[in-house]
Amino acid sequence: MTRHFRTDDDLTSAEQHRVLSRALELKVDRFASTALAGPESVAVIFDKPTLRTQVSFATGIAEMGGYPLVLDGRLAGIGRRESVADVARVIGRQVRAIVWRTFAQADLEEMADVAQVPVINALTDQLHPCQGLADLVTVAEHTGGLAADGPALAGRSLAYVGDGSNNMAHTYLLAGAVAGMDVRIGTPPAFQPEARILARAEQIARGSGGSVSVHTDPVAAVRGVDAVATDTWVSMGQEDQADQREAPFRRYQLNADLLAAASPSAIVLHCLPAYRGKEITADVLESEASVVWQEAENRLHVQKAVLEFLVGEA
């Protein structure tokens, strides 16, 4: 059966543990995986802006012996010029895997249903699972590594403050629950996570020994945690609402006062791009606690591990 990485919980706790461990190995030996030798092509398609995702997938695929076929989704017009299903059938016959950044999660899932090759979610409006894995591996590097057995980050805690309804909030809920973490979202009442995702994260957490919670008080969310994360208040596709999306979130800014409520050894995560003075202050982003550049690099290592896993399972 073809395996995909459409949602964070497409990997079980044991599989996520395996992928994160492999990412740490590939970080030490960049050329240890030859899973795409041939070179086999991987289509990497962007319907939204990108920097880290394009660089890390293109670099990673090449390092694995493959060929990164980077496509501008606007030229292909997927779902407009041609249906998602037709595109899936055309590309799926030629490449080894498909990586897609797009808007609707349903479109990504349709691509996976129809293409006969692994499909990887490189960000949708709903989820950003590759970033989730990069963040987990970064937390592991700073909190004593991965658990010897069981969920990868059992007992570690992470708070996300900001837009609780966006892709990063959803990804932290699901990926953190799979990893057995204590995940806390600090967000205004009007920006709660999707109920279906929260319920799914609660269900996963019951099995992994983790926990998830949503707070309207940002200090309550952050209190004592090992990692504090935030993200832009204006996600890609919401640019025309930028003005209205500032006031509700001001209280949730990741600044030195809020960070002081976390563990004294807490790390700061941000998927980037960061808007200094909005969701995070410049001093926090540039502080000793901030590991955002390491986190960005870890995209490379985890995505290679995911590709190797999916290609190996297929």
List residues with catalytic annotation: 101, 128, 131, 231, 271, 299
Nearest CA-CA partner of 133 in 310, 14, 300, 272: 300
Among 99, 152, 271, 289, binds ligand NVA (CB under 6 A): 271
CB of 218 to ligand NVA, least distance (A): 18
Q: Determine, following the binding rule CB under 6 A, whether residue 295 of this chain makes contact with ligand NVA.
A: no
Rank residues 128 and 156 by Cβ distance to ligand NVA and give the closer one.
Answer: 128
Region of 83-91, 94-102, 228-236, 250-258 interacting with ligand NVA (CB under 6 A): 228-236
> Which helix (H) or strand (E) element contains residue 119?
strand 119-121
The SS3 call for residue 75 is: helix
Rank residues 117 and 123 by Cβ distance to ligand NVA and give the closer one.
Answer: 123
Structure tokens of 277? Answer: 């003075």
Closest-approach residue to ligand NVA (CB): 235
Rounded Cα distance, 132 and 255, in Å: 22
Residues in the chain, how many? 314
The answer to whether residues 34 and 65 touch, using CB atoms and an 8 Å cutoff, is yes
Contact letters (x/-) for ligand NVA, 110-149, by CB under 6 A?
-------------x----x---------------------
CB of 56 to ligand NVA, least distance (A): 12
The answer to whether residues 144 and 171 touch, using CB atoms and an 8 Å cutoff, is no
Q: Determine, following the binding rule CB under 6 A, whether residue 235 of this chain makes contact with ligand NVA.
A: yes
In this structure, how many other beta carbons lie within 10 angstroms of the beta carbon of residue 85? 14
Nearest CA-CA partner of 18 in 240, 280, 310, 227: 310
* DSSP string computed for 144-191: T-S-SSSSTTTT-EEEEES-TTSHHHHHHHHHHHHTT-EEEEE--GGG
Region of 151-159, 162-170, 197-205, 217-225 interacting with ligand NVA (CB under 6 A): 162-170
Rank residues 279 and 308 by Cβ distance to ligand NVA and give the closer one.
Answer: 279
Region of 59-67, 165-173, 190-198, 275-283 interacting with ligand NVA (CB under 6 A): 165-173
Q: Determine, following the binding rule CB under 6 A, whether residue 166 of this chain makes contact with ligand NVA.
A: yes
Q: Determine, following the binding rule CB under 6 A, whether residue 281 of this chain makes contact with ligand NVA.
A: no
Among 236, 255, 297, 314, binds ligand NVA (CB under 6 A): 236
Structure tokens of 272? Answer: 């980037």
Sites of contact with ligand NVA (CB under 6 A): 123, 128, 166-168, 231-232, 235-236, 271
